[in-house]
Amino acid sequence: MLATLARVATLRRTGLLSGPGSRRELWTGRPQSDTDNMKPLEGVKILDLTRVLAGPFATMNLGDLGAEVIKVERPGAGDDTRTWGPPFVGTESTYFLSVNRNKKLAAICDVFVENYVPGKLSALGLGYADIDRIAPHVVYCSITGYGQTGPLCQRAGYDAVASAVSGLMHITGPEDGDPVRPGVAMTDLATGLYACGAIMAGLIQRYKTGKGLFIDCNLLSSQVACLTQVAANYLIARKEAKRWGTAHGSIVPYQAFKTKDGYLVVGAGNNLQFATLCKIMNVPELIDDCKYKTNHLRVQNRKELIRILSARFEEAMTSEWLHRFEGSGIPYGPINNMKNVFAEPQVLHNGLVMEMKHPTVGKISVPGPAVRYSKFKMSEARPPPLLGQHTTYILKEVLRYDDKAIGELLSTGVVTQHEVEC
């Protein structure tokens, strides 16, 4: 399929790289007749050559905002995550299903997103210089492990490795234990969110200038940027970071406490909250104790204070503590397993369970979009595509290939078409 795209990229007639005057131009500034549910990225077509998580997560979020995401995969194999399991639903990996809704397979774009090792697509005639030469309006986003240049640029980028190199793994885990990989691929997800925002900024830039641009996103830069105050502590004060488990290096108390039947995370970010906490826990004598009167003193005397609070928390069930803290103004919450997460009334109220009908496995549920907007609804959920599900449609209806050309592509294995049973 990449070889096909390299040939297609030279043919302006296909619509792969339509110029600013085409019907896919982002904003005209003219009022529309029906703006009640106009989505900000309606009319934008995104060519998605990404695999695994960071890229697909970025383009999925853009699809939720109305963009048409056209996903290109290797014939016969597809995205690596199609095989990442268990669990599987039928033959589909739940990992793939979780980040690939609202996408089609083919080759037209206003935005071009890829996550190949630097230089790979240039060798196929699909690098930024190639695209910019024939379609300077295209916003081209490259997602890599370490950046376009530099000593590590040719290394493959995987979340856990980038998490280690960037220092995130060094600061994650129990205080006296080994480094721990975060429970989800936070470096990939952060990079996907950076890429999503950068692409929208690129579209605004195109609206202002009429020209596209190249966007360099990478796992290493995203995660180092997300080190925030931990990085600043080192850069400004040369204070080396350490692991704190569920605790916080600069705020006490702010961590998980074991109860009779589970865990509760509680924080006191100021003296008033600490006093309220002490009253709720029936230890009012701690409020005026000279060792705990300020957060600075509480940090200095962390071990003794946490020992006292921990003993109190273990005296009651989680549900009892939740009842006591309700309406107090104290930040608190239980550590939920997945069953409890998706039974949580607020999660359900926020619409964070998205249901859709998959063509082979039937009804499935995935996490819904995190953000809601007042003037439009998110795009209707469409299931992740089967490998090759939309190939013929895109070649014929969008790229205007005739039946003979499509037949040749299918017979030679350049593309594949998955037939969906009705």
Nearest CA to 255 out of 291, 186, 294, 309 is that of 309
Do the beta carbons of residue 206 and residue 137 sit within 8 Å? Answer: yes
Q: Does 87 sit behind a cis peptide bond, omega within 30 degrees of 0 on the bond before it?
A: yes
C-alpha distances out from residue 321 to 2, 48, 259, 345, 400, Å: 57, 48, 9, 18, 64
The SS3 call for residue 263 is strand
Strand partners, 142: 114, 216
Checking DSSP bridges between strand 139-144 and strand 254-258, what pairing results, if any?
Answer: unpaired
Count of beta carbons in the 10 Å neighbourhood of residue 335: 15
- Residue 190 and residue 100: Cα distance in Å, rounded? 17
3-state secondary structure (DSSP) of residue 141: strand
| 132 counts as catalytic | no
Annotated catalytic residue within 48, 64, 110, 188:
188
Distance, in Å, from the CA atom of 14 to the CA atom of 137, rounded to the nearest integer, reads 16
Virtual torsion, Cα 145, 146, 151, 156, nearest 10 deg? 0
**Per-residue tokens: 183:** 């429970």
**Which alpha helices (DSSP H) does 226-280 contain, by range?**
228-237, 271-280
Q: Which residues are designated catalytic?
A: 188
